[in-house]
Amino acid sequence: MVLINTMYFKGFWEKAFVADDTQTRSFFLSETEEKKVEMMETTSKFKYAYNDKLNAQVLEMFYKDSDISMTIILPSEVNGLQLVEEGLEEVFREQSYYNAKVHVQMPKFVTKSDIKLTDVLKNMGIKTAFGNSAEFTGIAEDKGEKIKIDEVLQKAVIEVDEEGTTAVAATGGFMVMIPSVAEVLIDFIANRPFIYFLKSKSIGVLFIGRYFGP
Considering the entire predicted model, what is its pTM?
0.71
Residues 6+ apart with CB under 8 A from 74: 56, 57, 58, 59, 188, 190, 192, 194
Q: Are 72 and 196 in contact (CB under 8 A)?
A: yes
Nearest to 193 by CA among 87, 47, 13, 72: 72
Q: Residue 127 pLDDT > 60, yes or no?
A: no
Q: What is the pLDDT of residue 178?
A: 43
Q: CATH number of the domain at 2-169+181-211, out of 3.30.450.20, 3.50.50.60, 2.30.39.10, 3.40.50.10320?
A: 2.30.39.10
Percent residues over pLDDT 70 in the chain: 63
Mind listing the pLDDT tens digit for each residue in 7-34? 556 778 898 899 999 999 999 999 999 9
Q: Are 73 and 95 in contact (CB under 8 A)?
A: no
Residue 146, amino acid:
K
Weakest mean pLDDT among 54-68, 91-105, 141-155: 141-155
The span from the CA of 132 to the CA of 149, in Å, is: 9
Question: Which range has highest mean pLDDT (24-38, 94-108, 195-209)?
Answer: 24-38
Residue 92, amino acid:
F
Q: What is the pLDDT of residue 117?
A: 53
Q: Residue 114 pLDDT > 90, yes or no?
A: no
Residues 6+ apart with CB under 8 A from 200: 67, 68, 206
Q: Where are the domains of the chain?
A: 2-169+181-211
Determine how many CB atoms are found less than 10 A away from the CB of residue 37. 20
Phi-psi region of 128 (alpha: psi -120 to 50; beta: other; left: phi over 0): alpha
Q: Residue 142 pLDDT > 80, yes or no?
A: no
- For residues 164-169, average pLDDT: 63
Q: What are phi and psi of 11, to 5 degrees?
A: -125, 145
pLDDT band at 43 (very low <50, low <70, confident <90, very high): very high
